């Protein structure tokens, strides 16, 4: 069965495909389809955005869809960048400019006040309707400088609890064992499996 991952972000797709590989589905991203309208992520929560992306994409493509919305919440910044993680440094934001802004805002802030957490919400939709939502969270802290070349986004700055290295210094397999996305996907896989059994 075909499953559409409602993203154009190749980094996310790579992680999601790896995490779904034991399910009897073949995953495609939006890059495999023409004319899918961009969905405006104007929700005030990750869940609102994930639900909107999943439902609208499923309605448009008439397919089975998973959509992820994720972000980084930094305690010292009262939960920012949160839902604005992708565009934290403004128009034309890149992973690099976002990371630079975060380091600037946390300059001279001591380790005890650099707590952060990654959150991921995955919504699953079929026939235009959301059939389930799953959430994952990974606690950690923000380092003082960028470290590591793996992963994407804020990975070079995020040191998960109980580790002395950033997500970007881990292999994808290591990150996948503890990441917010893998926890959310474990829940989403149950929703997907239950739904697939309806087709058998
Ligand atoms: P969105 O879910 O596409 O709205 O964007 C989420 C943004 O949060 C990404 O562009 C990244 O900057 C950041 N993000 C989400 N998940 C991760 C992750 O696993 N590692 C690093 N950054 C992430």
pLDDT at 117: 98
Provide the domain limits for residue 53: 2-196
The answer, yes or no, to whether any atom of ligand 1 lies below 6 A from the CB of 152, is yes
Domain CATH number, residue 116: 3.90.950.10
pLDDT band at 135 (very low <50, low <70, confident <90, very high): very high
Determine which one of 68, 69, 126, 155 is catalytic.
69
- Of all protein residues, whose CA lies closest to atom 22 belonging to ligand 1? 153
Backbone φ/ψ region at 81: left (φ over 0), alpha (ψ -120 to 50), beta = alpha
Q: Is 157 exposed, middle or buried (0-12, 13-18, 19+ CB in 10 A)?
A: buried
pLDDT, greater one: 169 or 15: 169
Q: Kindly report the pTM of this predicted structure.
A: 0.93
The number of distinct structural domains making up the chain is 1
How many other CB atoms are found less than 10 A from the CB of residue 149?
A: 9
- Of all protein residues, whose CA lies closest to atom 12 belonging to ligand 1? 153
DSSP 8-state symbol, 81: B
């Amino acid at each position: 069965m075909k499953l559409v991952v409602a993203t154009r972000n190749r980094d996310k797709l790579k992680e999601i495909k790896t995490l779904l590989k034991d399910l009897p589905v073949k995953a495609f991203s939006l890059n495999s389809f023409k004319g899918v309208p961009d969905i405006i992520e104007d929700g005030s929560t990750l869940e609102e955005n994930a639900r909107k992306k999943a439902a609208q994409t499923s309605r448009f493509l008439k397919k089975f869809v998973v959509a992820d919305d994720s972000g980084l919440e930094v305690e010292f910044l009262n939960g920012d960048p949160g839902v604005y993680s992708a565009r934290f440094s403004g128009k034309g934001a890149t992973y690099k400019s976002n990371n630079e802004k975060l380091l600037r805002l946390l300059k001279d802030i001591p380790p005890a006040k650099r707590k952060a957490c990654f959150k991921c919400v995955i919504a699953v939709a079929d026939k235009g309707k959301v059939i389930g939502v799953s959430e994952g969270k990974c606690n950690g802290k923000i380092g003082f400088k960028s470290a590591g070349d793996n992963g994407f986004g804020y990975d070079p700055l995020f040191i998960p609890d109980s580790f002395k290295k950033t997500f970007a210094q881990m292999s994808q397999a290591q990150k996948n064992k503890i990441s917010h996305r893998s926890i959310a996907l474990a829940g989403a896989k149950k929703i997907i499996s239950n739904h697939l059994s309806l087709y058998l």
